Amino acid sequence: MNKVRISNFLLGTLLTGWRLWIVWVICVSVFFLIIKFRIATYAEFDFASLAVLPVLVITWISGKKNGLIMAVLASTISLVGDIASERQYSFQWIPWVNALTHLMTYSLVALLANQVRLQFEREHERATRDALTGLHNRRAFLEAGTLEVERTKRYAHPLAVIILDLDDFKQLNDTKGHEAGDAALRATAIALRSISRSSDRVARLGGDEFAVLLLEIGYEAAIEAGRKISTAVDTALHGFPPVKGSIGIAWFGEADRPFPAMLKAADELMYEVKKNGKGNVRSRHFPEINKSDSKR
């Protein structure tokens, strides 16, 4: 399992619904097994520390609130186990003190686990997001694309890769300054996000180059999406002359190559546009069947 999959696993969406209930049932079952052993050994063996693991799991997959609820439940079950074990204590209140100690320990574990996850999420966000635009960066885009290609191989879904490069961006930087250039990049990012589907992946690859990964989309629909992107970006850049966008669209009916090669195919189409006047859209169908399209 590579770093990408480990990260995706550790930072997966917090569980809800029936999946969360299944984990709850498993964790509560672990508690009852612990209590059963305590009762069977007349509380001579303290298995209470093992309850930290279910509290940790619940907190990590469903958040601080559920983690604290699990801490209270674990402490309560521990108290019941101590009382049911019929062990003779020096004072009758000792099981209650033990339960309170367990509650404090479990709650601390839940709070710490939640803080670790939040910090992990922040670090992951910094590593995979472009600081200026808030879009995915090149690394995150390549990772997501690689995973989607693997999924496409299994389910035979088509996908398209769109590369957008801003024409004459350097001229804007040189004449209006880097603040204007940054504003143009942010405006482009907003335009891309505004017309993208929730399933699409949008990224800034670096400099003035952007990319969009369109999942489960037909060839004609991909061309139409590219045209909409071109129109939206041109509109967003109206206040930043002479900047416009050149777009290359590589559509794949099957995952016949690694994702970096797909990205390269779209990049080459974008450069074809630049060589022929800029500000247009060019698409190609892969495997190639002599289908291509250019805007204007």
**Residue 208 a catalytic site member:** yes
239: helix, coil or strand?
A: coil
3-state helix, strand, coil in the chain (%, to 5): 60, 15, 25
| Torsion from C-alpha of 247, 253, 256, 257, nearest 10 degrees | 20
Measured CA to CA, the distance from residue 12 to residue 152 in angstroms comes to 20
User: CA Rg, the chain, in Å?
Assistant: 28
Give Cα separations from 275 to 23, 227, 244 (angstroms): 57, 19, 14
Measured CA to CA, the distance from residue 46 to residue 111 in angstroms comes to 23
- Determine the straight-line distance between the first and last CA of the chain, rounded to whole angstroms: 46
C-beta atoms surrounding 277 within 10 Å: 11
Contacts 24+ apart (CB under 8 A), 266-275: 266/161, 266/162, 266/163, 266/211, 267/163, 269/163, 270/163, 270/164, 270/165, 270/246, 272/248, 273/246, 273/247, 273/248, 274/165, 274/167, 274/246
Query: Which of 82, 130, 167, 208 is labelled catalytic?
Result: 208
For residue 112, which of 149, 50, 67, 45 has the smallest C-alpha distance?
67
- The residues assigned a catalytic role are 208
